[in-house]
Amino acid sequence: MRTQLSFVPPAGIATELLAVFAADTQTGKGPDSKPTPRLLTDDAAVQAAAASVLSSGEYKAAANETVLLHAPAGLAAKRLLIVGLGKLARVNAHKVRDGAGSAVRFAKPRGIREIVLAQPSSASLLDAVVPLAVAARVAVEGAFVGDFDPDTYRSDRKDQSIQSFTLAVPAFADRAAVEAAFAQGVIVGESQNFARSLVNEPGNKLTPTILGRRAAEMAQEVGLEWEVHSTGKLHELKMGAFWAVSQGSAEPPALIVLRYTPQGVTDGPILGLVGKGITFDTGGISIKPADNMERMKYDMAGGAAMIGAMRAIALLKPRVRVIAIVCAAENMPSGTAQKPGDVQTAMPLVPDKPGKTIEIINTDAEGRLVLADGLTYARQLGATHLIDAATLTGAISVALAKVMGGSFSNDDATYSKFEQALQVSGERFWRLPLGEEYADLIKSDIGDIKNTGGRYGGAITAAEFLHHFAEDTPWIHLDIAGIAWVEDSRPYIAKGPSGIPVRSILEWVRTFSL
Ligand code: BES
Ligand code: MN
Ligand code: ZN
Whole-number Å distance between alpha carbons of 394 and 480:
10
Q: Are 98 and 63 in contact (CB under 8 A)?
A: yes
Q: Which residues surround ligand 2, an ion (CB under 5 A)?
A: 281, 364, 366
| pLDDT tens per residue across span 229-245 | 999 999 999 999 999 99
Closest to 108 (Cα-Cα) out of 160, 163, 165: 160
Whole-number Å distance between alpha carbons of 210 and 506:
24
Q: Report whether pLDDT(124) > 60.
A: no
Given this model, what pLDDT does residue 120 score? 86
- CB contact set of 160 (below 8 Å; sequence gap of 6+): 108, 109, 111, 149
Residues shown for the chain: 514
Q: Is 26 exposed, middle or buried (0-12, 13-18, 19+ CB in 10 A)?
A: middle
Helix H, strand E, coil C: the string for 29-42 is CCCCCCCCEEECCC
Whole-number Å distance between alpha carbons of 427 and 418:
11
Tell me which residues are annotated as active site: 288, 368
Q: Among 153-167, 286-300, 315-329, 367-381, which stretch is predicted with the lowest mean pLDDT?
A: 153-167
| pLDDT tens per residue across span 34-69 | 999 999 998 999 999 999 999 999 999 999 999 999
Q: Are 269 and 248 in contact (CB under 8 A)?
A: no
Whole-number Å distance between alpha carbons of 170 and 493:
27
Given this model, what pLDDT does residue 128 score? 64
Please tell me the distance between residue 510's alpha carbon and the centre of ligand 3 in angstroms. Answer: 29
Which atom of ligand 1 lies closest to the CA of 461?
A: 19
Round the CA-based radius of gyration of the chain to a whole number and report it: 24
Closest to 501 (Cα-Cα) out of 431, 430, 429: 429
Given this model, what pLDDT does residue 366 score? 98
What's the mean pLDDT in 5-20?
97
Please tell me the distance between residue 394's alpha carbon and the centre of ligand 1 in angstroms. Answer: 5
| pLDDT tens per residue across span 248-305 | 999 999 999 999 999 999 999 999 999 999 999 999 999 999 999 999 999 999 999 9
Average pLDDT across the chain, whole number: 97
Q: Are 13 and 77 in contact (CB under 8 A)?
A: yes
Output the residue whose Cα is nearest ligand 1's atom 3.
Answer: 393
Which atom of ligand 1 lies closest to the CA of 283?
A: 13
Pocket around ligand 1 at a 6 A CB cut-off? 281, 299, 362, 364-367, 391-395, 452, 458, 481
Given this model, what pLDDT does residue 126 score? 65
What's the mean pLDDT in 108-119?
97
Q: Are 443 and 450 in contact (CB under 8 A)?
A: yes
What's the mean pLDDT in 15-25?
96
Please tell me the distance between residue 311's alpha carbon and the centre of ligand 1 in angstroms. Answer: 28
Of 276, 286, 393, 397, which is best to mutate to test ligand 1, by the most ligand atoms within 8 angstroms of its C-beta? 393
Of 364, 370, 388, which is best to mutate to test ligand 1, by the most ligand atoms within 8 angstroms of its C-beta? 364
